[in-house]
Structure 1
Amino acid sequence: MTAIKHTLQREVFLPSEERLFSVVHVTKEGKKKKPCFLCTAVTSQKPAQVTLYQVKKSDKSDALKKKTAWPLRQIKLLDAKYIDRDVGDFEIHIDKVYKWVASSVAEKNAFIQSLWKSQQQLLHNQTALESLRLSILPDQVGGTMGGVQGGGPEDDESSNWKALSKKEQSDLELLMSQCDFAISNAELFAGQLTKDLSVLDGANIHSIMGSEDQVIEMMRLLDRGCEEAEQIEKKLREYEIVLETVKDLMDCMKDKDALINIKNKNHRKLLEELEALISKLSLDHTFVKSLLDGDLSTPRGVHECTLAARAILKCHNAEIKPALCKMMAVQDQKKRLTSYKNAFVKRLSHHLNNLFIHQPSSTSSSSSSSHPQQSELKLPTHTSCYKELLPYCELMNWLKIVDVEIFNKLKSVYTTNLSKLFGQQVKDFMNSAKQQLTYKRNNLSANPGSATLSRKLMSANQTSSNSSINKSEGVDRNNAKNSEVNREGEDVFDQIYEQVLTELEVWCVAEQDFCVKFFNLDYTDQQQQLHDDVTNNNNRSSTSDNNSSDSPWVQNVCKMMYELFLSLESELMALEAFGINLNNYNSLCMLVRMSGHVLLTEDVGSFLSKTFATCLVQIKRNFDRFVDSLIQNMRECKTNKKSRLGILQFVHKFEEFARQSEWVFRSTNRRTDLDRAYAKLTSALFTEINRVANESQKSPPEVVHFENYHRIFALLSELKITSLDAVKKEAKKQYQEWMQVYVVAYLGQPLEKVHQFFQGVEARVASGMRMEDVGYQVQFNRQELKRIIKEYSGKEVKKGLELLYKKVDKHLSEEENLLQVVWHSMQDEFIKQYKYIESMINRCYPDSNIYFEFSIEDLLGYFSDIALSH
């Protein structure tokens, strides 16, 4: 162990200027790990710091290193455990319990003893010492751990040892400097010190004996002091008796003063309570006069009555303790106040009832002019009625609080009388709108093309081709005029319908705001529910019908507004039906306009939003019916056996629908319903084009296909409808494929015998014969090829092309003007065949000087001359 201590001191603690105090070789309890050392070390600096270290060997080398350090002050308990047994287990409680097993009992005891000494001598800390003693049983004191608990004399001396002070150290150095042999002969120096101590003890004894008289005098003075102290104590007891008497008198006076204060306080509280009660139940005489006789027909009288009603309501709602309510005076005053209140309720309800009954007669209803052009499409305002009734707002609120039954009766009188007026005004307003629509539509039918919209329509109807004037020009012009009338009619309807919705919105919102303020209606809680209802209606309108009864009217604002405007919803739907009867395309305008107003009125007015949403559902149904009717017309389309088909009638209808729809939806982002309609229409359109083309007898099916697909592609390219990009690509593909099928079918093989000749050549080559050897076959020799080629002179070829051009001209319609496009495709196909034959001649009959009488340039000239001549 000495060697280990020396090694630890040199390698571990000396570099950190610490001195090893004790060490024990341990392992952790219950775990098989490398052994380690628990060491206590003290610093060389003052004040000394004692630290408990866990020292282990490094994993990479055998060098000893500190792993964990705990200041000795942090030790809470040192449990030696089983001191009566020969075991090395012990525990140290710091931040947690550390269980160790010493390599031997002797090492454990020596370490614990050293730890205890460190606490006593260096730190003077008794906490850990007490913990150590508590961990050892009383019968173990003086046993194995006797040294730890101070049982041995040596340990007593060491435990009582104290370090020399600086003065003692200096005196000792002075004494040793006076004796030359103090260091060389310690025994002689100790004997000399003993002699000096004996001399000093004798001197002390003589000094004490010489001062005996002074000691006696001091004792006498002490006796006198004790007698004086007894006299003072006696006086203090007398004073204490007198003070006790005075205390009793003072306590008695204090109790009397407390009773007087309590009495005064009670009187003061009673007075305050009575004053508060009187203040709560008192009503000023002027207020009483206003309640009983106040004038409710003048603004000043209404103001005075309002103040009086406010005051009596305050008295009526005053909080009074239940005990005070049993007083007769309080009960009498309450009865008096109730009589005032009932009298005023009767007067106020009678006055307001008369105002509500006579209000319709004082309001002028809308009157339509005899001439629709001179009538102004505007609803009458009720501003004067609002100004007359608004001063009574607070009184109506007061009435709602004090007597809700009478308040509800008055509200019913208001809605009953005003609903008749509003119903008549809405009816007259809608009739005026219908008259203007009829009048302006008749004018448009008589004078079409005078508006700016006609010019826009003519520009939209221009095609990409620049063909010359032909027979179809008159038909196109008539179609443009009809479309122009429709477009202008739709624009007129759109303007009037927008004006109707705007007027209704302003009119209904004004009435709703008045009702909310006048009748003190609270619809904040219902607003979110109504918003959800409108949203659900809009979402379901495109897929299924929505019954308005699915979302019942809530009370307060919606209920009252519904009672006031009973006929508004039916009149709006009647106007929608009237617009559709004028023109089915008006459903597009109504869909756009009503959708915008539904979104606007969601935050402005719940009733109007609900009404518009219900009408929007009906408009959406009408729009869907219109789209379904277009599809049904496509399915019912029949072919004409005596004439060419050209552009089919339902393709014209689709073109008209697309142009009108894009014009109407140009300024709105609500295209969901329109895109869905486009999808249904284009799907049916492609299906019915194929059906009609297959049923065609006069026109070739290929022509019906590519002409109508070309018209659809040109329309979609012009309108640039994003949702129909895929349809546009498909229309272009169908148009090109069917035109190519037509070109191949009707152009055929103009050099037919030459084609047949080389088909036989290709068959021989396919059987394994080389191309150079084909010319040696009798039926495929050069003379035979020259003979066949001579049959196709340039004049004969041009004559055949002229006949082909006439045939193509008969097949194609002048309406779409695709003749030159088809003729150019036939030219390309002919040149392709010509190049194929030239290639086969060069490959199978090289250096044969076999050529056609005409060249590619001649062919191009033939095709150009034929096109220009017609």
Structure 2
Amino acid sequence: MQSGNVDDMRADLERELNKTQAGGWLARFQEEDDKVDAIKLGIDVAILECEELDNLLTLYSVELSTLSEDIAYIEAQGQGLQVQAANQKLLKQELESLLETCAITSTDLQVLRTAPLDNIQGLSEVENSLVVLFKAMIKIDPSLGGRDPGKAGDSSVDDQALGLDSDYGNMRIVQEKKEMYVQESSQFMQHLIGFMPQQFELALAETKRALSGALAKRGDSSHHETGRDVLWKYSPLMLYARDVDLKSWSHMLGIYQEKSHPVYKNEFQSIMMSCRKNARKVTSEEQVWLFTTQIEKQQENVATAARKMTVKRSQTLARALRSPLSEGKADRQKAGSGTLPWEVFSTVLDELLPLVEMEQNFIIDFFHATTLEQTDFPDAVASSTPQDRRGGDLKKHRIMEPDRDLARRVTRSMETIFSFLDHDLQKLMEWVISQDPLQGVGMFVAVEKKMADISQTNQDFINTIFQKQHGLLGGRFRKFVDDQIRAIEETKVKIHKRKGVIHFIRVFPAFSTVVENMLVGIDPNLPIRRTVDREYDRMLKSMFDSLLVIARENPAVGVTSGGGDPEDKEALNFHILLIENMNHFVEETDTRGLDVLEIWKNNASREYHEHMGLYLNAVMRRPLGKLLDHLENIEAQLQSGKAPTLIAAQPSNTKTIFNKILGNYDSKEVRKGIEALRKRVEKHFGDADDPALSRDLVANVIRESEKFYVDVESRIGRIITDVYEGDVLFEWPRADVKAAFK
């Protein structure tokens, strides 16, 4: 009952509370109605004012559009005034240029006809007048002097370089002035053509005077500088001639080249003769180091004399005969060798080619025969006074000329001046080869060095000569090597003495030393290096093949010492011949780090050791035959896998038999056998053309023989241990072996 009352009271309270809240909101809305009306009124007023502002902005926009058109019109008027002002300025410049161009009279150019060119003052006056004339002619015809006609209307170009407008150029007064200027220029060019030959002769006379002086040094470029100093002051006039009258310029260049020809011809021939006088004649002793020499000697039946000339060690002789240029004259004089023919050729190139290169550079600089020069005639005149003009460094290499037509014109001039050079160098080359065909290698090297030096320069004339000489030398060298290989191969047929060091094996170490001395200091990337290496390989292959043929055909002479030798005489002689020749090749050949020689030297060393082993196996049969047979029999069975006990049980290999065989080799017998072996080795290898090399080879074979005896002792010890279990009462006479081989 009480609970129901509480719920009713809560419901009543909530109902009353809701009524109170609803009444409050309604009362509040009634109180604020006045404020809402006021806000609505304000918003309406604001909307009206915005509409009024929009009307004003629309009006302003229309007015501003009208002003924009007025501004654009004013700006267009301003630009028109600027263009008009620029055109008026250009017109003023053209009129001034026209007046300046046409203001020159014949009287103003009188100095070109009257002023002397052979003194400084007259030359300066002429150059100043020519500058005025040149500028006027350039304005009328901007194509003169290599100028771009398209620049004539460019207002950025200064008025001195400004060409006349084409309409003005067609004016009668301009055409009349142009004819007058061309006529004045042509008259001056005729005067210059008549004057310059005298100056060329004067300059060349100074050169000849310097060349014939008592203290004149051979090949000194300063002799030509004396003559060139006479001409340098006229260099700007040559530039004027090139730009204004190319035909007259070419004519003066032709006059110069014709007058220069005899001076250089006499000088160069004098240098060549002087160098040849300093050369010594190649002796027959030196020529014996060609592969072709021996056959010729045999055909002339003078083999004995040739043998005497081979006694001297090949490398020592080669060094004495052909010391390289880098060792200097003092060393050659000390050695008594003098100047070799190929060194004469190299010296001639060293002295002549700088003169040729300097002459071409002089022609380019003096006659301005290049498109790489940026100086025009007025600048050339203003750069220095006539008395101060000097050329640049004529010795310095120049880059290639881009204008190939102009480069060919310079080359034609060089061909005229030095028309004799190709022929004279070829004659000198033939003379060198006639002295000694091997000297051609040195010339080959000299030419390739020079070609590499000038390959990237403007020296087309020299390069053409060298290419021709290089081709000739290449052909001669290939023929020379073919002749040497033919001589090597003919040795197989013509040789009579088939023992000792064969001729071509003896020759090659000295031959290669001679060649390599000519190649001292060269760039390993030059073609000559690859060419020589290739020919080395051809020759060595022929040598080794021919040696094998000769050794196989050996008729077994010089080694027989009785009728009871168990060895195969032909096989023994085969080994002896190969040992002697391979030893000579290995000991005497200086590879100088060359791969091709290293390969063949290694091949020779391998052949030497192989045949040394075969030779020892053969000659040891005489002092140690029974012992070796017994050892080899037991070793062969052991190697096949047979048990040591079974081997020891064999009747032929019993301990008693082994003791008996060993007992035959006491101290006395071993000493006797070694002494006989020593004599036999000396007989086989001691009779050689080179005593020193022969002694060394005998000593080597004796040492190898001693090693063989030591190895025999080791083999005996192994068999005693492995087969007979150490139960053999025998001691190898080690001390006696060592003493005997001493």
Same fold per superposition (TM over 0.5): yes
> Compared with structure 1, are the counterparts of its residues 693 and 324 closer, same or farther at alpha carbon in structure 2 (3 Å cutoff)?
same
Letter in 1 for 2:607: Q
2:623 aligned with 1:744: no
Equivalent runs, 1:540-551 vs 2, <5 Å: none
**Distance in 2 between residues matched to 1:359 and 1:268, nearest whole Å:** 52
Match of 1:568 in 2: 421
Contact 1:522-1:557 at 8 Å conserved across structures: no
Contact 2:343-2:442 at 8 Å conserved across structures: no
**Distance in 2 between residues matched to 1:385 and 1:397, nearest whole Å:** 20
Q: What TM-score results when the alignment is normalised by the length of structure 1?
A: 0.57
Show CA shifts across 1:87-134 (max 9, x none). Answer: xxxxxxxxxxxxxxxxxxxxxxxxxxxxxxxxxxxxxxxxxxxxxxxx
Contact 1:365-1:421 at 8 Å conserved across structures: no
Residue 110 of structure 2: SS of its match in structure 1? helix
Deviation for aligned residue 1:368:
9.1
Residue 368 of structure 2: SS of its match in structure 1? coil
Greater Rg by CA: 1
Match of 1:388 in 2: 230
Match of 1:600 among 453, 456, 461: 453
Contact 1:523-1:557 at 8 Å conserved across structures: no
Contact 1:393-1:519 at 8 Å conserved across structures: yes
**Distance in 2 between residues matched to 1:385 and 1:761, nearest whole Å:** 96
Contact 1:512-1:605 at 8 Å conserved across structures: no
> Compared with structure 1, are the counterparts of its residues 333 and 491 closer, same or farther at alpha carbon in structure 2 (3 Å cutoff)?
closer
**Distance in 2 between residues matched to 1:317 and 1:760, nearest whole Å:** 110
Match of 2:113 in 1: 292
**Distance in 2 between residues matched to 1:197 and 1:653, nearest whole Å:** 135
Match of 1:186 in 2: 25
Deviation for aligned residue 1:562:
2.0
Equivalent runs, 1:206-355 vs 2, <5 Å: 274-283=95-104, 287-318=108-139, 319-325=163-169, 327-355=171-199
Letter in 2 for 1:730: N
> Compared with structure 1, are the counterparts of its residues 445 and 728 closer, same or farther at alpha carbon in structure 2 (3 Å cutoff)?
closer
Contact 2:400-2:458 at 8 Å conserved across structures: no
**Distance in 1 between residues matched to 2:97 and 2:641, nearest whole Å:** 129
Match of 2:740 among 843, 862, 867: 862
> Compared with structure 1, are the counterparts of its residues 730 and 356 closer, same or farther at alpha carbon in structure 2 (3 Å cutoff)?
same
Equivalent runs, 1:631-710 vs 2, <5 Å: 631-638=485-492, 645-670=499-524, 671-697=529-555, 698=557, 700-710=573-583
Residue 208 of structure 2: SS of its match in structure 1? coil
Contact 1:707-1:818 at 8 Å conserved across structures: yes
Show CA shifts across 1:745-796 (max 9, x none). Answer: 2212644445556677789989998644666666655555555555555434
**Distance in 1 between residues matched to 2:35 and 2:636, nearest whole Å:** 152
Match of 1:713 among 580, 586, 606: 586
Contact 1:591-1:620 at 8 Å conserved across structures: yes
2:219 aligned with 1:378: yes
Match of 2:444 among 580, 583, 591: 591
Residue 262 of structure 2: SS of its match in structure 1? helix
Contact 2:637-2:647 at 8 Å conserved across structures: yes
**Distance in 2 between residues matched to 1:608 and 1:390, nearest whole Å:** 25
Contact 1:290-1:305 at 8 Å conserved across structures: yes
Letter in 2 for 1:557: V
Match of 2:243 among 401, 404, 427: 401
Letter in 2 for 1:672: R
Letter in 1 for 2:368: N
Residue 540 of structure 2: SS of its match in structure 1? helix
Show CA shifts across 1:443-463 (max 9, x none). Answer: x97999xxxxxxxxxxxxxxx
Deviation for aligned residue 1:594:
2.8
Match of 1:825 among 695, 700, 704: 704
Match of 1:249 in 2: none
Q: What TM-score results when the alignment is normalised by the length of structure 2?
A: 0.66
Which has the higher mean CA deviation after the structures are superposed, 282-291 or 774-783? 774-783
Match of 2:42 in 1: none
**Distance in 1 between residues matched to 2:638 and 2:194, nearest whole Å:** 116
Match of 2:268 among 426, 430, 445: 426
**Distance in 2 between residues matched to 1:706 and 1:368, nearest whole Å:** 63
Question: Higher strand proportion, which one?
Answer: 1
Match of 1:514 among 348, 362, 376: 362
**Distance in 2 between residues matched to 1:447 and 1:673, nearest whole Å:** 27
**Distance in 1 between residues matched to 2:185 and 2:406, nearest whole Å:** 34
Residue 743 of structure 1: SS of its match in structure 2? helix
Contact 1:494-1:586 at 8 Å conserved across structures: yes
Deviation for aligned residue 1:301:
1.6
Match of 1:627 in 2: 481
Residue 666 of structure 1: SS of its match in structure 2? coil
Question: Higher helix proportion, which one?
Answer: 2
Contact 2:492-2:546 at 8 Å conserved across structures: no
> Compared with structure 1, are the counterparts of its residues 605 and 188 closer, same or farther at alpha carbon in structure 2 (3 Å cutoff)?
closer
Q: Which runs of 5+ in 1 are unaligned?
A: 1-179, 202-261, 449-470, 532-550, 865-870
Deviation for aligned residue 1:740:
0.9
Which has the higher mean CA deviation after the structures are superposed, 403-412 or 359-368? 359-368
Match of 1:414 in 2: 256
Deviation for aligned residue 1:515:
0.7
Contact 2:97-2:164 at 8 Å conserved across structures: no
Equivalent runs, 1:76-91 vs 2, <5 Å: none
Deviation for aligned residue 1:289:
1.4
> Compared with structure 1, are the counterparts of its residues 786 and 181 closer, same or farther at alpha carbon in structure 2 (3 Å cutoff)?
closer
Letter in 1 for 2:352: L
Cα RMSD after superposing both structures: 4.6
> Compared with structure 1, are the counterparts of its residues 616 and 766 closer, same or farther at alpha carbon in structure 2 (3 Å cutoff)?
closer
2:310 aligned with 1:484: no
Deviation for aligned residue 1:425:
2.7
Letter in 1 for 2:110: K
Residue 276 of structure 1: SS of its match in structure 2? helix
Contact 2:275-2:347 at 8 Å conserved across structures: no
**Distance in 2 between residues matched to 1:719 and 1:397, nearest whole Å:** 55
> Compared with structure 1, are the counterparts of its residues 334 and 748 closer, same or farther at alpha carbon in structure 2 (3 Å cutoff)?
same
**Distance in 1 between residues matched to 2:723 and 2:595, nearest whole Å:** 54
Contact 1:580-1:587 at 8 Å conserved across structures: yes
Match of 2:432 in 1: 579
Contact 2:315-2:509 at 8 Å conserved across structures: no
Contact 1:419-1:564 at 8 Å conserved across structures: yes
> Compared with structure 1, are the counterparts of its residues 573 and 765 closer, same or farther at alpha carbon in structure 2 (3 Å cutoff)?
closer
Q: Which runs of 5+ in 2 are unaligned?
A: 1-18, 39-82, 140-162, 287-306, 324-331, 374-396, 559-572
Deviation for aligned residue 1:269:
8.7
Show CA shifts across 1:674-710 (max 9, x none). Answer: 3333333333332233233223333612122122222
Match of 2:55 in 1: none
> Compared with structure 1, are the counterparts of its residues 375 and 499 closer, same or farther at alpha carbon in structure 2 (3 Å cutoff)?
farther
Letter in 1 for 2:519: F
**Distance in 1 between residues matched to 2:267 and 2:312, nearest whole Å:** 46
2:682 aligned with 1:809: yes
**Distance in 2 between residues matched to 1:808 and 1:575, nearest whole Å:** 52
**Distance in 2 between residues matched to 1:290 and 1:511, nearest whole Å:** 33
**Distance in 2 between residues matched to 1:701 and 1:613, nearest whole Å:** 48
Paired positions, count: 575
**Distance in 1 between residues matched to 2:246 and 2:407, nearest whole Å:** 19
> Compared with structure 1, are the counterparts of its residues 832 and 528 closer, same or farther at alpha carbon in structure 2 (3 Å cutoff)?
same
How many percent identity over aligned positions? Answer: 20
**Distance in 2 between residues matched to 1:187 and 1:831, nearest whole Å:** 140
Contact 1:774-1:844 at 8 Å conserved across structures: yes
Deviation for aligned residue 1:267:
10
Q: Which has the higher contact order (CA 8 A, sep 6+)?
A: 2
**Distance in 1 between residues matched to 2:262 and 2:240, nearest whole Å:** 28
Deviation for aligned residue 1:742:
0.9
